Amino acid sequence: MTGTFFQGDSTLHFTPESVTSTKTTCQNGEASLFEVNIRYVGGLLSAYYLTGAEIFKQKVLELGEKLLPAFNTPTGIPRGVINLGSGTSWSWGWASAGSSILAEFGTLHLEFVHLSELSRNPLFTEKVMNIRKLLNKIEKPHGLYPNFLSPVSGNWVQHHVSIGGLGDSFYEYLIKSFLMSDKMDQEAQKMYYSAMEAIEANLVQKSPGGLTYVAEWRGGILDHKMGHLACFSGGMIGIGADDGPAEQKQHYLDLAAEITHTCHESYSRSATKLGPEAFRFDAGAEATATRLSDRYYILRPEVIESYMYMWRLTHDPKYREWGWEAVEALEKHCRVEAGFSGIRDVYASTVSHDNMQQSFFLSETLKYLYLLFSDDDLLPLDDWVFNTEAHPLPVIRKRCLQEHGNTQDDGQTNLE
């Protein structure tokens, strides 16, 4: 398959000559386990919880069953690609030594727990808990989680660590699993804060100009770049600030604000006031793309996502101001006759459109902008957790049932 594969909250970005083969692949039922889960399973779950329409519940449970064969590996770590018709699965051809990707097998937990809740079938939860069990058992270099893991041996394949592409949503789903469990999932809580300790000790850096960023780690050597995908981490660290060590709460809020500020700088330092795919902090550069291949913007949501969370947490008006800057830039540079398009170079004052509106622009970018300018009681964070494609899932309040000995007539968990 030609084209560039963007990981994390990913999309397949195809060249024209690849479109025919891509259509054939889709017709054959071959799909990314990760993408089907975050987009379709997450979307159908949200549609059911927001409308109560049984058709969405029926379809999401059918689809969830179709994903289970991907877990049929020696370790239970699922492979990345599955044929939804035959149930056969395999690893991405580009993945090192047939490995599975941390941000893919680590971004199933929220949806699979809800599949168990709706179906009363514990198998979905068992599958994702088995992933956790293996991750807790194996040694982690300096407490870090590398991005590539063998589904056969259960060992790390490369020591590349990133909270951007390949790693990002694994960390997001740790803290969100804790929050979605009504703060009962103490294993997720422990894993998240241990990972944060390791990230701070090894990856968080301060530039000469005072910008806080999260570098990548390649076998002990830092790569001083930060991808647009990694800009979700400001919001993640913000929503996790309350539930770590009490003396760390303000520190985490400050760190979240600093990272979000850095990501805003990557926007404000471009001609279009939109951010590049990746920006660097070396050779005198700060929060700017130094490679031609990193200068594009494909309507990504992560920076705006962090604005929304930081607004909800602090009500500092700058986050709405920054969000409005993004709205104006999108309208000026990305609006086209049929919708919105990505642009090839954020530093060019005359833009060149890529002629593509990514699906996450609707599900995430516009949704987070809408929420940024809405009242806090619209999908309140105490009651809802957003999956990595911004589909809202309700907090599962088992605590109420345990405290009051109360179950619904049909025996299902109270999700509201």
Do residues 374 and 361 lie in contact, with contact meaning Cβ atoms separated by under 8 Å?
A: no
Do residues 340 and 299 lie in contact, with contact meaning Cβ atoms separated by under 8 Å?
A: yes
Alpha helices in 348-416, H assignment, sequence order: 359-360, 366-372, 398-404
**Inter-CA distances, 203 with 184, 195, 197, 226, Å:** 29, 11, 10, 11
Q: Which one of 35, 104, 185, 305 is the catalytic residue?
A: 35
Say how far apart CA 199 and CA 201 lie, in whole Å: 5
Say how far apart CA 416 and CA 398 lie, in whole Å: 10
Q: Helices (H) and strands (E) in the chain — how many of each?
A: 16, 19
Catalytic, 277? Answer yes
Q: Which one of 104, 111, 302, 345 is the catalytic residue?
A: 302
Do residues 151 and 368 lie in contact, with contact meaning Cβ atoms separated by under 8 Å?
A: no
Catalytic, 104? Answer no
Q: Which one of 104, 111, 168, 172 is the catalytic residue?
A: 168
Query: At a CB cut-off of 8 Å and minimum separation 6, what does 348 contact?
Result: 271, 272
Nearest to 110 by CA among 189, 35, 172, 47: 172
Binding residue per annotation — 20? no
Q: Which one of 172, 277, 305, 389 is the catalytic residue?
A: 277
Catalytic, 416? Answer no
Catalytic, 305? Answer no
Active site residues: 35, 168, 277, 302
Binding residues for Ca(2+): 388
